[in-house]
C-alpha cells in the first residue's frame, strides 16, 4: 500500500506538479499546504507518513516547521523531508541540525527518492533519526 504524503510549498504551481508526479509514481498525496499553519493542521488531521517541506516557505522557515512537526509527534510521527530548488550545500548546517529525515532537491523529486529517505529511518526510529 502507498503511504500518505503531505506536500508543503508556497508555490501552487509546484504543489500541483509534485502532486501529479508522485501520484503517477504510486504515492498517495493526502494533502498540500502553502503555509506552516496549514501544514500543521493537515498533518494533525491527515496523519501522513511523510511530509515534504520546502526550506523557504515565503516568509516562513521550513526548518522551524520541521522542528514543530517532529515536536508534535514524539510517538514516531511523519518522516519530514526538506526540499528546495537551492543546493543542499547552501543549507548543510541547518539541515544537519534539523530533525528532518533528509533533504531532496526539487529537481530530483520522485517516489523512489522519497521512499529511500523515509525507509532509511528504520522501523521504530524517532522522527529525527537519520541513516548515514
Segment 114-120 shows an average pLDDT of 91
Least confident of 6-10, 58-62, 122-126: 122-126
Joined together, the cell numbers standing for residue 30 give 493526502
Query: What gap in Å lies between CA 17 and CA 25, rounded to an integer?
Result: 12
Cβ atoms of 95 and 6 within 8 Å: the answer is: no
pLDDT at 1: 56
In the chain, domain spans: 4-119
Instruction: DSSP for 59-119, please give it.
Output: TEEHHHHHHHHHHH-TTT-PEEEEEESS-GGGGHHHHHHS--SEEEEGGG--HHHHHHHHH
Pick the more confident residue, 127 or 121. 121
Distance of CA 128 to the CA centre of its chain: 12
What value, to the nearest 5°, has the Cα angle with vertex 33 and ends 76 and 58? 110
Query: Cβ neighbours of residue 73 under 8 Å, at least 6 residues apart?
Result: 43, 127
**Is pLDDT at 75 greater than 80 in this prediction?**
no
What's the grid cell of residue 33? 499546504
**Residue closest to 18 by CA, chosen among 120, 113, 119, 127:** 113
> 4-119 falls under which CATH superfamily?
Response regulator (3.40.50.2300)
Let me know if 108 is exposed, middle or buried by CB neighbors in 10 A (0-12, 13-18, 19+): exposed
pLDDT at 122 exceeding the cut of 80 = no
The pLDDT, as a whole number, for residue 51 is 97
To the question of pTM greater than 0.85 for the whole model, the response is yes
Amino acid at each position: 500500500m502507498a503511504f500518505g504524503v503531505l506536500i508543503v510549498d508556497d508555490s501552487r504551481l509546484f504543489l500541483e506538479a509534485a502532486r501529479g508526479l508522485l501520484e503517477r509514481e504510486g504515492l498517495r498525496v493526502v494533502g498540500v499546504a502553502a503555509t506552516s499553519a496549514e501544514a500543521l493542521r493537515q498533518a494533525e488531521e491527515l496523519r501522513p507518513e511523510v511530509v515534504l517541506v520546502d526550506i523557504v516557505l515565503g516568509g516562513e522557515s521550513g526548518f522551524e516547521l520541521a522542528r514543530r512537526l517532529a515536536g508534535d509527534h514524539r510517538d514516531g510521527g511523519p518522516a519530514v523531508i526538506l526540499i528546495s530548488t537551492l543546493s543542499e550545500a547552501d543549507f548543510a548546517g541547518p539541515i544537519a541540525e534539523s530533525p528532518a529525515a533528509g533533504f531532496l532537491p526539487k529537481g530530483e523529486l520522485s517516489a523512489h527518492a522519497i521512499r529511500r529517505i523515509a525507509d532509511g529511518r528504520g522501523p521504530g526510529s524517532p522522527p529525527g533519526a537519520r541513516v548515514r
